[in-house]
Chain A
Amino acid sequence: MRFVDEYRDPVAARALVRRITDLAGDDHLKFMEVCGGHTHTIYRHGIEHILPSNVELVHGPGCPVCVIPMGRVDDAISVAESPGVIFCSFGDMMRVPGSNGNLLEAKARGADVRFVYSPLDALRIAEENPDREVVFFAIGFETTAPSTAVTLLRAKAKQVMNFRVFCNHVTIVPPIKAILDSPDLRLDGFLGPGHVSTVVGNRPYRFVPAEYGKPLVTTGFEPLDILHGIAMLLEQIRQGRCEVENQYTRIVRDEGNPAALRAMAEVFELRPHFEWRGLGFIAQSALRLRDEFAAFDVEKHHRLPNIRVADPKACQCGEVLKGVIKPWECKVFGTACTPETPIGTCMVSSEGACAAYYNFGRLHREAAVALGTAAG
């Protein structure tokens, strides 16, 4: 595992932590990692534990399962329980609670809810069941939206008219803007998302330095990538620079993936506004199908309840998603809310900050020691 060792090399990690410590000096600095994949790496490898205490990482809203509001889950269940429907969902969404249970419970009550790996699986089920309405529950940022777009283009070309999409795709830039506009939080920079940026590229983030004066570094998922991204942010601050930089040059290009962007533009348009769990309504932050694809749009065929549902009182996913509190500061974390019986979405998805901390947080010290950088 030559390559892997290079990116988990304790000597290199120690050198980077020293550089981070020197650059940070005595200032308390807060950086947000936008992407759930980064949160996972940070807890899995004990990164928070090896950083100097004045360099703080704040977990962002980049977990697509976590940001779906309860009302949308209720809408999904209402569609799933309509007569004749086969409802197809990624596994992650099955256990996300709505106001009256989750999709697994709807299945137990008799709804035909099926787990799929890909939207193409749902299209195939539609082709095999021409007398049933087959609905794909589309969620995710720009990482998964192009796949839904291509699947819809195929459905249209093949005239699979019993295939429908319940579109909940969201876009990465508006929540970053919402967080920057939020008075709750003072941030000094961002670790930009990895996989989303393979699609959208680095250009959409230029407003972060240009309009808000904060640096952003698109960063990979290895522990050394994260440390390197933090060091690059600090270097910008110390050198008086403020720009979008790319640490994850192994995959991310400035222009992103043009074919994926073309497919998305052909199929989707921006919604005027969309509700995000914890962040509320954000203008032009989500995608819906263009009129040319109305025949495939669940929202044009079903009367959805479309009722806004407040999160359970005890649940603080909203504050966790905005980075205002850490997972373990939530009152129900690890007691009433666990991955087995989640109350909030952040505990459901493997990329949710709460699930990542629950699964790996206690390994902090061991992981940090393995990386050879734990202090003391």
Chain B
Amino acid sequence: MCLGIPGQVVEMLDSHEHLARIDVSGVGRVINIGLLEDEDLGCGDWVLIHVGFAMSKIDEEEAALALASLKMMGGIFDEEVEALMTSQSAAEEMPDAVKAWED
């Protein structure tokens, strides 16, 4: 829960809802970036994610360090990343066309 997982902003999704698509270990997740509204966040920036929210803007160096530290933790890291990967609120939202088709 207290572990920060690093990710890289791939796409700004919805400025009203403060959502961005973020690449976490190669998987796209939808993350709330509202807490970084003062940071002028853009594509390519790295962030540290805590419980579904981007909490700090970091540089590539810190991202590499955070990831290496997490990997050393072994099972705990796997659980935290697994939790993020299965988080329903972070699931990539379906494009409207797909939603319409499913309806």
Contacts and interface: CB of A to CB of B under 8 A. Distances in A.
A123 interface: yes
A258 to B, nearest CB: 6
B62 interface: yes
A171 interface: no
Nearest to B60: A3
Interface string A29-56: 0000000110011001000000000000
Contacts of B88: 121, 124-125
A150 B35 contact: yes
B40 interface: no
B69 interface: yes
A110 B24 CA distance: 35
Interface in A260-290: 260, 263
B89 interface: yes
B86 A117 contact: yes
Q: Is the interface of B mostly helix, strand, loop or mixed?
A: mixed
Interface string B59-97: 111101110110011001001000110111110000000
Contacts of B52: 117-121, 147
A137 B27 CA distance: 28
A140 interface: yes
Interface residues of B, number: 38
Given A144-B51, A259-B34, A121 B73 contact: no
Given A90-B1, A121-B87, A1 B35 contact: no
B44 to A, nearest CB: 17
Interface residues of A, number: 48
B89 A124 contact: yes
A143 B1 CA distance: 9
B28 interface: no
Contact of B38 (A36, A124, A150, A259): A259
B56 A251 contact: yes
Interface string A237-261: 0000000000000110000011110
B55 interface: yes
Interface string A56-91: 000000011100000000000000000000000011
A73 to B, nearest CB: 16
B37 A259 contact: yes
B89 A123 contact: yes
Contact of B89 (A118, A141, A199, A251): A118
B2 interface: yes
Interface in A96-147: 115-121, 123-125, 139-141, 143-144, 146-147
A196 to B, nearest CB: 9
B65 A3 contact: yes
B11 to A, nearest CB: 19
B48 interface: yes
B36 interface: yes
B83 A117 contact: yes
A4 B68 contact: yes
A260 B50 CA distance: 12
Interface in B1-60: 1-4, 32, 34-38, 48, 50-53, 55-56, 58-60
Contacts of A316: none
A144 B35 contact: no
A342 B69 CA distance: 25
B49 to A, nearest CB: 9
A250 B32 contact: no
B51 A147 contact: yes
12 contacts: A37-B2, A40-B73, A119-B51, A121-B89, A125-B88, A140-B2, A147-B55, A195-B2, A251-B48, A257-B35, A263-B35, A351-B2
Interface of A: 1-4, 7, 36-37, 40-41, 44, 63-65, 90-92, 115-121, 123-125, 139-141, 143-144, 146-147, 150, 195, 198-199, 221-222, 250-251, 257-260, 263, 350-351
